[in-house]
Structure formats: C-alpha cells, structure tokens
Amino acid sequence: MNEFDFIRKIREQTRLRGASPDLLRGIGDDAAVFKSAPGSNLVITTDLLIEDIDFRHHTTMPGLLGHKALAVSLSDIAAMGARPRWAMLSLGLQAAIWDSGFADRFYEGFFGLADRYSVKLIGGDVSRAPERTVIDSLVIGECSPDRAVLRSGAKPGDQIYVTGFLGDATAGLRLLERGARLHGSREVLDPTLDDETSEVHPIDRLLLRQLKPEPRVGWGILLGDSQLATAMIDLSDGLSSDLNHLCTESNVGALIDASLIPIDPLVRDVCGRRALDPLMLALHGGEDFELLFTVDPQAAAKLPKRVDGVALTRIGEITTVSSGVQICEGSRVWNLEPGGWEHFKG
Amino acid sequence: MNEFDFIRKIREQTRLRGASPDLLRGIGDDAAVFKSAPGSNLVITTDLLIEDIDFRHHTTMPGLLGHKALAVSLSDIAAMGARPRWAMLSLGLQAAIWDSGFADRFYEGFFGLADRYSVKLIGGDVSRAPERTVIDSLVIGECSPDRAVLRSGAKPGDQIYVTGFLGDATAGLRLLERGARLHGSREVLDPTLDDETSEVHPIDRLLLRQLKPEPRVGWGILLGDSQLATAMIDLSDGLSSDLNHLCTESNVGALIDASLIPIDPLVRDVCGRRALDPLMLALHGGEDFELLFTVDPQAAAKLPKRVDGVALTRIGEITTVSSGVQICEGSRVWNLEPGGWEHFKG
C-alpha cells in the first residue's frame, strides 16, 4: 500500500467516526479547516517522539505507541485546563516498519484513546525515515475565554497538589531496561478496557504506566472550568524539574514534604527488590503525565477527592521566590534541584 | 546550552518581535493559547522533513532549512486561500548538530520568512535524535467563514492556472545530486533580500528554488478573499500527482496543454546541457510549491496578472470525470498518470 492509499484508509476511518459540525474539512486537502466555539480560546501543543530516545520498538507495541503519542499531547492540554478537540499526527517510518503493518495497529491505539475523549484526527503527514521511527503528535483544545490555567499564576501560600502516583513510569522504564516485558494480555491492547481496574499482571501495570500513560483529561477540564487551580503543569520531565519550571514562571518558591509524595505500594515493593529508591524515581523520574497544580488555601475544600477514579494528594506549599524550591524529609530541608530529563546538557 | 536555556532564548526572540492581541500565551507553558477572529475559520497543516529523505546537511545550510521548513507549511495554507498566523516547530537534532550551533542559524532562516508575513512562532518541541535530523513544521492560518478554497470545487469548463514556473525545484535537485553547490553569497542567507530580483548566480537561482522555496502566500490570500478560485492545491508532489489529487477530490477530469506549461528559460538551458527533459521535470518534479487552481471561465478576466511579482499561466481546462486526466502535445493526447513523489510504493 502506498501512502496515498493509506491516507485514504485513515480518512475513511475518521469519516466513519461521524461528522462534527465544527469540522469543515478534515483529512484530504492541503490543510484541515475547523472553527472554534464563539469567543473560546484555542490551546495547542506538539510533542516529538523519536525511536531509541523516547521509545524502543522491541519494548513496546505499535498500538501502545499510538496511544502514547496522543496521550503525551492530551496531557499538555489537560495541564492548561482545556478540553481536547482536534489532533494531527506526523509519522516517519522505515520501509520495513511500513511493510510490517505497523501503521494500522498504531492508529488503532491512537483512535482507542482519541475516541474516549471525542478527539478528532484532522490531518498530519506520512514520510519515509531512513533508520528511526519518528512521531510528531499535535493536539488542539478549547477553553472558555481567559480560563487557560498557566504555569505563572501560583502565589505564596497556595497549596501544591498532584494527581495519581509519582515514579511509576520510571519504575516501568527501569524494569524494561532490565529486560522485563509485557506478559501480553487482551487488556494490554484493548483500548476499551480501563487498565486501572482490569486484572493486569502487577509488573505489566508498571510497564504500562511507562508504555501506555493515561493523561488526566478529566482533572484538566475540571480544574480549568472551576478555576480552582492558580497554576498547573504536567509531570513530563519529572517533579523536580517541572516544579522548578512552574515556580520560575510564577516567580515563587515552593516547599514540598517528601513524606506526602504519593508512591504506589507496588513501586515501593518493586524498588525494594531491585535496590531502586522510590523517592528518587518520584522526584526525578519523568513521564508520569500526572498533573501538578496549585490552589488558593481558601478554595482547597472545593476540590473533589477523585476524578475518573484518580485521587489527589497535597504535597506542599508555595513560598516566596527568595526561599527557592525546597523539599523537607522529617526535619531536614534541602534545595530541590531539577534532576529530570534533559535532551542536551548545558 | 541545554534545551531549556535554548527554548528561553527562542522565547525571548519571539517576545522581542512584539505582542499580538490574539496571542494569550506563546512559548513557555504546556501549550500555547490564542484566539481566532470572531467567526473566522482556522486552517492547519503540518509537514515532516527528515534528513536524507527531504534534505541533506551537506547540500544545504541551516538557515535555508529553517526557511524551507516554514515555507512548505505556508504553501499549504496558501493553497487553502487562507492567511497564515501562527507556527510551531519540532526539532530532533543529533548531539553534534546541536553543538554546532545549527539551531541558532535554523531559527534565523525561519524567522526571516515568518517575519515577512507576520507569522508568530508560538511553540514546538526540541528533542535529541540519534542519527538523522527531523523537523516537523506546523502553521495555522485564518480565513473568512466558509472561504477556504478546497480541492473539491472544480467544475467542467473551469480554466486551470498555475503560478510561477514548474520544474525549477527538481532541476535544482538534479544539479545538487550531480555535485553543484551554492556559490554562496550574502543574498543566499539574507532573508530580507528577494531572491527573484537580486543578483544571484544563475545556477544558485535554481538551487535556491529547491533549497529555499518561496510559498505563494500573496496569491493564496488573494484567491481566498476574492473567491475567484473554485479549487486549489499546492504543487508539492508534482503537477501530474497534484492535478490528479485535485481531480479526484472534485470528481472531474482535466486536459492540460504541454505547450502552455510555464518553464523557466534557465531550466531549458540547464536541462539542454545535461540531457534532462524540462517537460518531465515540470510534470513530475515535486517541491515547486507553486499554486495550481481552477477558475470559472466567466471570472477569469478578474484575475490579476501578477501578485508579488509572480505571474500566472493558464495551462488547460477541467473536463468531465469520464475523460480522465489528460495532456496534449500538439495533436497527441495521452493520460497524465501521477508520476510524482511517493514515499512508499504500493
């Protein structure tokens, strides 16, 4: 199949998913054409995934990669407090990967997640790549006028929260690096199952936190609509790096309490057997795609306990910029330097 | 410099270019936030450029590549009859390329073209790439409600036009493949100079048509605003492929006249000395980034002769779908099969 036939097939799949009155032209022209709700703001993000940097074919599956490519961009839209609407996908594939039917299963995983949030695929690009698979994912969301939650709104005294558990994705990555592989099961690839409630092998559960992250779309929409969050960021580089990003943009400091950081008991167990420090994974490990946000203490009581089954944990408080970004463990306090992922060292 | 410092630098460069009342948040958050003009339609396109497929470092320069990455997406927006507004850029770079200062010069070329059309860079991604440079460029444009010019509006009897000359970019590519290199001059990299009027070495002029294409932004805006074009596509794959795309979407046929196809005298000269057929380059060569569009014969007299110094040529007429897509050369008529670029053969 050449790429024009393939694009026709994907276009047909988007057509079968039904029309959207806001989408005037999807796949099949030089560009997609859509309109935003009157007065709304548009929120747009793009994420590049490169083979052997962001994933390895032998430790994942095409469907999981399709899910993850969309998930990382949905997470950015959630971190703005916006509702995801449209997606575009650029794929660069080696000829052998193309011939293997990779793209079909990749889009299956992609649509599995997209359909859950009624996100429409409206375009993209397909190219040959000489050696490494390349994926660029783009998502456009909408929010009410001036309701986007920026990184820059945190004030001293605001309480700091995170969704879910931290460090799982890096624990999963460490397991993959040490040779663990998915036990494989219907659940792994079936996008209609919810990983967090279905019966999945415990090690698979950690591997899937790395290979099939769940963006906190529901939390993002709630925090944007309610305007409860004063600032927000998603945890993609790692808590230490991302908290520093948020504090820099807000011109504030922060003090977090190590004992409050939510760590999955399974991660503690797995780490204990493998001489890994769960706190280090939670602080500096990336790709959890949980949300980190700040809330005025007066408003904190209005926060729901859970959204879509995902709990919330208060981990600290915003301080003045002169205090810097700090962490306490019992009576010891130290500076929390960004220790997360960097592509290029300075 | 690590990528966070680099992103800060690019963000500062966008800040220095001045605020836009429609841009609520550019670089520096999880996503960019903007609003569209009330009632307008949004037009979005993305293009993936991969080293050794779409370009080679040793035949181009970082600034030219920055220009071209944006140009290919601007061309898609022009082909929709829309006005470009916002851009995003994802870059995957090898460590050695990163260390060489490539990115600074790349963005210089990018901004040179972006500034010309007041296109604002509002986000993107930076990643390490193991072996090949990867660029994904995205542009968002705007047009008045329901004014986007689709591929699907051509009717039998409509006249077929192209802007500029065809085959230049492929002639330039053939020269590069045979070892020709830019003679290098101030003009080559200075984005404030107009290549088509400044004194550039004749061979450089063809090489630049490949390495530094000029999107027909002015023509695109005019044809969208005036609603003179019934259908439009940009010539990226090659006339034979792109005319077939347009005819498929419009469910029509076409008859073009080989003798009317505009070929640059310089291309004829260069081809003559190198046993290349200029008509084949014009028909099947890609990346000219000229516009191909159709016009109701009643409206054709309203077309301007030139926009931004770029002329128009009528090359044929839309026919019924049963006639297929054909070309005549004197009294001979044959089917014009798509012979342009394909990444993957069927």
Burial of B180 (0-12, 13-18, 19+ CB in 10 A): middle
- Determine which of B9, B25, B83, B344 to mutate to test the interface with A (most A C-beta atoms within 10 Å): B344
Q: What is the CATH number of the domain that holds B33?
A: 3.30.1330.10
Q: Do B342 and A2 touch (CB under 8 A)?
A: yes
In a domain, B303, yes or no: yes
Same domain, yes or no, for B130 and B81?
yes
Could you tell me which of A235, A242, A229 has the C-alpha nearest to residue A293?
Answer: A229
Restricting to A residues 250-289, those with a Cβ less than 8 Å away from any Cβ of B are none
Whether B281 and B327 map to the same domain: the answer is: yes
Closest by Cα among A70, A111, A69, A86 to A31: A86
CB-based contacts of A271, cutoff 8 Å, min separation 6: A171, A277, A278, A281
Q: Are residues B80 and B194 in the same domain?
A: no
Count, residues in chain A: 346
- Does residue B315 share a domain with residue B270? yes
Is the same domain home to B166 and B314? Answer: yes
**Is B57 in the same domain as B123?**
yes
Instruction: Find the domain containing A275 and state its range.
Output: 159-335
- pTM for the full model? 0.94
> Residues A112, A116, A117, A119: is their CA dihedral positive or negative?
positive
Give domain status of residue B343, yes or no: no
Closest CA to A255 of A198, A166, A325, A205: A325
Size of interface A-B (CB pairs under 8 A): 246
Q: Tell me if B305 is assigned to some domain.
A: yes
* Count of domains forming chain B: 2
Kindly indicate the confidence band of residue A189, based on its pLDDT and cuts at 50, 70 and 90. low
Nearest CA in chain B to A46: B124
Cβ separation B127–A90 shorter than 8 A: no
What is the pLDDT at residue A187? 47
Residue A8 phi, psi (nearest 5): -60, -40
Chain A residues with beta carbon closer than 8 angstroms to that of B36: 35-36, 42
Residue A292 contacts B, CB cutoff 8 Å = no
Which residue, of B80, B115, B143, is where some domain finishes? B143
Beta strands A291-295 and A229-234 are antiparallel
A23 close to B (CB below 8 A): no
State the CB neighbour count (10 A cutoff) for residue B311: 13
For residue A195, pLDDT beyond 80: no
Q: Does A36 touch chain B (CB under 8 A)?
A: yes
Q: CB of A186 within 8 Å of any CB in chain B?
A: no
Q: Does B340 map to a domain?
A: no
Q: Are residues B128 and B165 in the same domain?
A: no
Asked if A24 and A117 sit in the same domain, the reply is yes
The answer to whether residue A14 is domain-embedded is: yes
Residue ending a domain, choose from A143, A172, A197: A143
Find where tokens 């003045």 sit: A320
Encode pLDDT of A287-329 as tens digits: 999 999 999 999 999 999 999 999 999 999 999 999 999 999 9
Q: Which of B138, B148, B152 is nearest residue A46 as measured by Cβ atoms?
A: B138
Q: Quick check: B151 and A36 CB within 8 A?
A: no
Both tokens assigned to A324:
């810097």
How is residue A58 written in tokens?
Answer: 């032998």
Domain-located, residue A164: yes
Decide if B50 and A77 are in contact by the 8 Å CB cutoff: no
Q: Are residues A305 and A164 in the same domain?
A: yes
DSSP state of B214: -
Amino acid B198 reads: S
The values of phi and psi at residue B111, to 5°, are -65, -30
CATH number for the domain spanning A184: value is 3.90.650.10
Residues of chain A positioned with their CB less than 8 A from the CB of B76: 30-31
What is the per-residue pLDDT across B219-266, written as a single tens digit (0 to 9) for each? 999 999 999 999 999 999 999 999 999 999 999 999 999 999 999 999
Average pLDDT over residues A40-58: 96
Whole-Å CA distances, A37 to A21, A23, A34: 11, 11, 10
Higher pLDDT: A5 or A67? It is A67
Q: In this predicted model, what pLDDT tens digit does every residue of A71-119 receive, in sequence order?
A: 999 999 999 999 999 999 999 999 999 999 999 999 999 999 999 999 9
Residue B342 lies in a domain: no
Query: SS3 string of chain A?
Result: CCHHHHHHHHHHHHHHCCCCCCEEECCCCCCEEECCCCCCEEEEEEEEEEECCCECHHHCCHHHHHHHHHHHHHHHHHHCCCEEEEEEEEEEECHHHHHCCHHHHHHHHHHHHHHHCCCEEEEEEEEECCCCCEEEEEEEEEECCCCCCCCCCCCCCCEEEEECCCCHHHHHHHHHHCCCCCCCCHHHHCCCCCCCCCCCCHHHHHHHHHHCCCCCHHHHHHHHHHCCEEEEEECCCCHHHHHHHHHHHHCEEEEEEHHHCCCCHHHHHHHHHCCCCHHHHHHHCCCCCCEEEEECCCCHHHCCCEECCEEEEEEEEEEEHHHCEEEEECCEEEECCCCCCCCCCC
Min Cα distance B199 → chain A (Å) is 33
Say whether both A178 and A299 belong to one domain: yes
* Sheet with A23-25: strands ordered across: A23-25, A32-34, B41-50, B134-143, B83-93, B120-128
Strands A134-143 and A83-93: antiparallel
pLDDT in tens, chain B (346 residues): 888 889 999 999 999 999 999 999 999 999 999 999 988 999 999 999 999 999 999 999 999 999 999 999 999 999 999 999 999 999 999 999 999 999 999 999 999 999 999 999 999 999 999 999 999 999 999 999 999 999 999 999 999 999 999 999 999 999 999 999 987 654 455 544 555 555 778 889 999 999 999 999 999 999 999 999 999 999 999 999 999 999 999 999 999 999 999 999 999 998 888 888 999 999 999 999 999 999 999 999 999 999 999 999 999 999 999 999 999 999 999 999 998 767 676 5
Yes or no, beta carbons of A95 and B344 under 8 Å apart: yes
The rounded Cα B181 to chain-centroid distance in angstroms is 22
Residues B51 and B169 in one domain: no
**What angle do the packed helices B168-177 and B265-273 form, to 10 degrees?**
30
| Residue A294 and residue A184 share a domain | yes
Residue where a domain terminates, one of B95, B113, B143: B143
CB-based contact, A247 to chain B, within 8 Å: no
- Which amino acid is present at B55? F
* In a domain? residue A213: yes
Chain A residues close to B75, C-beta within 8 Å: 30
Query: B1 to chain A: which residues are within 8 Å by CB?
Result: 344, 346
The shortest CB-CB distance from B3 to any of A79, A132, A343 is to A343
- Nearest CB to B138 within list A51, A80, A138: A138
